[in-house]
Amino acid sequence: MKRGQDLSISVAIPTRKRAGSLICCIGSVLRNDRPELREIIVVANPDDRAALEYCAELAKTQPKMKVEICPLPCRNTAKNQAVAAASSEYIYFLDDDITLPPGNIKALCAKIRQHPDAAAIGGPNVTPENSCTIWEQAIGLVLLQPFATYMTRARYIAAPRDFKATENALQSCNLCMKKSALANYSRPFETSFFSGEETLLLYRLRKDGLAMISSPELKAEHHRRSGFASFCRQIFLCGAGRAQMSRLEPQSFKTVFAIPALFVLYMAALAFCPPLRQYPASLWPLYPYFALLVLSVAATSLTSPLKPALLTLLLIPALHLSYGSGFIVGLLGNKKTPKAIR
């Protein structure tokens, strides 16, 4: 932000048939309303009647409400459309199942003024304290375990203080970006990505020498997946997106990203090649894996409710296998362009 320039923020919320979550998200934004908040842009598909009707009704009393119709059921395309539609220098991206705590946008304005050269400023997305299902609680615990999420753990836990972030510490579910920093990209969010399109964008910004900041003061509550299958699918897509990023930007690749894929291939070899199991050495990698798994779950159970902590005993291997499977798929191809909704 240039000296003397008025600070303005556009909140961008892509949504897809989750009107209940969207209502809660917009409500939390409005409770944080400030003069710097110029507009709230909801990007919805034409068949999302509940969301469109709610936004249209709300716009009658809230002039900051704006709706963009995105014909493609594609989150990446929706984000690009929000960038094009935003009239502010700062675009604050939120997922539709995010809830902002009181004082969030005030804190964001303070961080922007404190770090005027930062191209991206964000904070952790934390599991709501009142998560209603044991699955949501357990998934929240999994995301905090280094054995499960390793380099990306910073996305889910508040650090003691602000720090210069990399693409591994920020997510677009709670991320403010400078619009002028995106001007060099005709398509800031890659539409062919399964997931993690913002990770690629953030990596490119960092590679261009632009600063990025993560602040614990900008934490927001993010509802977790409510079931096992939806959790596995989400992690699968994350793995696929990371592999696509490794193909597009080879220098971003780190060996640790491929370890779950190697684990998948190893487990598949044990499952479909019975003669291999006759050699005791073939099982040796499982011993340290399960030792680390048990230690991780035991450490979690010391500070968390027992039932969700024990459920992580299932979810951590599921995370590794889902991510690894997705990584293999992402190495082989890209996401197909979805058909437009009429």
- As averages over each run of 10 residues, the pLDDT of the chain (342 residues) reads 72 96 97 97 96 96 96 95 97 97 97 96 94 90 96 95 97 97 92 96 96 97 94 98 97 96 96 89 95 97 94 98 98 92 81
Contacts of 124 (CB under 8 A, 6+ apart): 154, 155, 156, 157, 158, 159, 174, 214, 216, 218, 219, 220
Can you give the pLDDT at residue 1? Answer: 52
Which of 40, 42, 39 lies closest to 14, judged by CA?
A: 42
Question: Are residues 199 and 285 part of one domain?
Answer: no
Q: Which of 162, 193, 224 is the last residue of a domain?
A: 224
20 and 71 assigned to the same domain: yes
The dihedral over CA atoms of 193, 197, 201, 203, expressed in degrees to the nearest 10, equals -90
In a domain? residue 141: yes
Domain hosting 104: range is: 9-224
Whether 254 contacts 157, CB under 8 Å: no
- State residue 14's pLDDT score: 97
CATH number of the domain that residue 14 is part of:
3.90.550.10
**Domain termination site, one of 194, 224, 254:** 224
- Res 132: pLDDT: 75
Same domain, 159 and 288: no
**CA–CA gap between residue 222 and residue 224 (Å, rounded):** 6
Looking at this protein, which amino acid is placed at residue 56? A
Number of domains in the chain: 2
Chain-centre distance for alpha carbon 191: 16
Task: Give the pLDDT score at 184.
Answer: 87
Evaluate whether residue 234 is within a structural domain.
Answer: no
Place of tokens 């908040």: 37
pLDDT of the residue at 232: 98
The pLDDT of residue 4: 41
pLDDT at 20: 94
Q: Distances from the Cα of 86 to the Cαs of 12, 40, 180, 304, 336, in angstroms?
A: 8, 9, 11, 41, 27
Q: Do 115 and 264 belong together in one domain? A: no
Burial 249-268 (b: 16+ CB within 10 A, else e): eeebeeeebbebbebbebbe
Phi then psi for 42, rounded to 5 degrees?
A: -100, 125
List strands edge to edge, sheet with 118-122. Answer: 65-69, 37-44, 9-14, 90-94, 174-178, 118-122, 211-214, 163-164
Residues 6 or more apart whose CB falls under 8 angstroms from that of 135 comprise 224, 225, 226, 227, 228, 231, 311
Strands (E), the chain: 9-14, 37-44, 65-69, 90-94, 98-99, 118-122, 125-126, 163-164, 174-178, 211-214, 220-222
Beta-carbon contacts of 274 under 8 Å, excluding residues fewer than 6 positions away, are none
Shared-domain flag, residues 13 and 134: yes
> 16-29, pLDDT tens digit by residue?
999 999 999 999 99
pLDDT of residue 277: 85
pLDDT at 6: 80
- Cα–chain center distance at 66: 23
Q: Do 162 and 41 share a domain, yes or no? A: yes
**Is residue 50 situated within a structural domain?**
yes
121-138 pLDDT, tens digit each:
999 999 998 877 899 999
Residues 169 and 38 in one domain: yes
